[in-house]
Amino acid sequence: MAVEIEFKFLVQKSSWLQSQARKTAVVFEIEQGYISTTPEAVVRIRLKNQKAYLTIKGKAKGPIRPEFEYEIPYSDAKELLSLCKSRIHKKRYVVHFENHTWEIDEFEASNAPLILAEIELNHPEESFRKPSWILDDITNDHRYSNSSLSRTPYQQWKNHK
């Protein structure tokens, strides 16, 4: 079974925007649509630059969850996206920091100005250092999941930061 071990963090906006890491990162444009967003399974379609993916994620237990991702034809993904009521748009920056890869998402449209960072690990207890622009661990706060943000955008939150 494919397993994802991922921790998610808030990002300090001004520090990130001025960082050398952002200036040298590999950047992707991402659009995601959700076919299912139940607690048991999330099914999404993702366009990432000129590639497309179907991803199925199982129920999370802390930072661990089953994940299956398959590249699919771009034209099929465009058609499937038309069936999705909930979507998100973001820019993803891929940064290498001290032997780990960080993915920083700058959300657009109704999720702006939210910026989140994710790190995938080989096991839940694996140690890593956080870059200076990393803030609070929000791994267990499901409001920040992409599927949740597609249904309840950040700008609709009463107390968003």
Active site residue 34: yes
**Confidence at residue 143, expressed as pLDDT on a 0 to 100 scale:** 94
**Model confidence, pTM:** 0.93
The pLDDT value given to residue 1: 60
Task: Tell me the pLDDT band of 39, cut-offs 50, 70 and 90.
Answer: confident
Predicted pLDDT at 158? 81
CATH number at residue 90: 2.40.320.10
| Residue 36 resides in a domain | yes
In a domain, 29, yes or no: yes
Whole-number pLDDT of residue 161: 55
104 has pLDDT over 90:
yes
Query: What percentage of the chain reaches a pLDDT higher than 70?
Result: 98
Q: What percent of the chain has pLDDT over 90?
A: 93
Where residue 104 falls (left for φ over 0; alpha for ψ -120 to 50; beta otherwise) is: beta
* The predicted structure's pLDDT at residue 16: 97
Range of the domain at 35: 3-156
Catalytic member of 34, 70, 74, 154: 34
Token pair belonging to 117: 């960072």
- Statement: residue 159 has pLDDT above 80: no
Residue 161 lies in a domain: no
The number of folded domains in the chain is 1
